[in-house]
Amino acid sequence: MPQKRVLVFQPIHEAGIAALTSAGIEVVRAPDARRETLLAMIPDADGLIVRTTGMIGGEVMDRAPRLKVIGRHGVGVDHIDLEAARQRGIVVVNTPEANSQGVAEYAVGLMLSACRFLPTADAAVREGRWAERERLIGAELHGHTLGIIGLGRIGSRVGRICRLGFQMRVRYYDIVRKHKEEKALGIEFASFEEVIAEADILTLHTPLTPLTRHMMNRETLSRMKQGAYLINTSRGEVVHLDALVESLRTGHLKGAALDVFPDEPLPPEHPVLRLPNVVLSPHMASHSEESMVRMSLVAEDVVRVLTGQPPRYPVLPE
């Protein structure tokens, strides 16, 4: 039997590479993340491991007659055409539990950064503007209301940290009510409208679907509390970025912290880059050492599929 070959389209932790090579699979690493590179290298691949760059649709799959499995290093699969994969008999797998703690901790870090002006304070010290300390009077998390949209693996961890660690009042909305988490953490279920209207800090933890695309738009942002903060570590398209810029410019929202954007990298001319009341990071909420190891081990499910075993975490079309 010829040796199986897996194309790793973007760099992953060596733990994942080791999982492939120890199973006797040849690993081919793409030199860059350009679409042209993917289309040129995919024809000889039995498996593909991807992160967040590029749409993996029918055009890519049709270039790869040997392709049996696509491994998503992470959770979100909105850039993989699941129906096209199903039609071609290609299994899609991901790592739904790998980055939950890392992203949750990062989301809380963004809350602290936005509410206490940490990036601005850092810049002030480096630039010799010590007197800025008199102006940078922030808000504590303690005692304020946190709104969570999406109480899945990440959202529930954020709720736990903020409820038990900061004694925040936590209200959430999810399409499925989570009675167990409510009881364990002392958090409250409410409608979407109630959550966004009452939150001092609103944090988003939803997948990107037709229902959640631009969920936070001019109308919904206007219904948020005056002076509230918006945190997004989910998907960039969940927020209408231009509407958010408008809300921040007018002062309706006091601040925001964003790790994800509709276009990545963020265009250098985008007005959000010029707003002083926004904390920005380059889609790195999951970039803890521990999370990177766990996400790379999507390779284990890739091996399972290529050796005729059922995967642990298959992703099915909705």
The answer, yes or no, to whether residue 165 has pLDDT greater than 70, is yes
Q: Is 72 helix (H, G, I), strand (E, B) or coil?
A: strand
* Six-digit token string for 168: 């925040």
In the DSSP assignment, the letter for residue 274 is G
The CATH architecture of the domain made up of 5-98+289-306 is 3-Layer(aba) Sandwich (3.40)
- DSSP lists the bridge partners of residue 170 as 146
Residue 249 neighbours by CB under 8 Å, 6+ apart: 275
For domain 100-280, the CATH class is: alpha beta
State how far the alpha carbon of 33 is from the alpha carbons of 147, 202, 255, 289, in Å: 36, 33, 33, 22
Residue 317: what are its φ and ψ, rounded to 5°?
A: -60, 145
Q: Supply the pTM of this predicted model.
A: 0.87
Residue 58, both tokens: 């029918």
On the question of a common fold for 5-98+289-306 and 100-280, the answer reads: yes
Q: Kindly list the catalytic residues.
A: 235, 264, 283
The predicted-structure confidence for 222-262, as pLDDT tens digits, reads as follows 999 999 999 999 999 999 999 999 999 999 999 999 999 99
% pLDDT > 70, the chain: 99
- Burial classification of residue 103, based on how many CB atoms lie within 10 Å of its CB (0-12 exposed, 13-18 middle, 19 or more buried): buried
Encode pLDDT of 106-116 as tens digits: 999 999 999 99
pLDDT on residue 1: 63
pLDDT at 318: 62
> DSSP H helical segments within the chain, as ranges?
14-21, 35-41, 58-62, 82-87, 100-115, 118-126, 153-160, 166, 179-185, 192-198, 218-222, 241-250, 289-296, 298-306
User: Taking all residues of the chain, what is their mean pLDDT, rounded to a whole number?
Assistant: 96
Instruction: Give the pLDDT band (50/70/90) at residue 52.
Output: confident
Cis check: omega of the bond before 265, within 30 degrees of 0: yes
- Segments making up each domain of the chain, as ranges: 5-98+289-306, 100-280
pLDDT over 90 (residue 317):
no
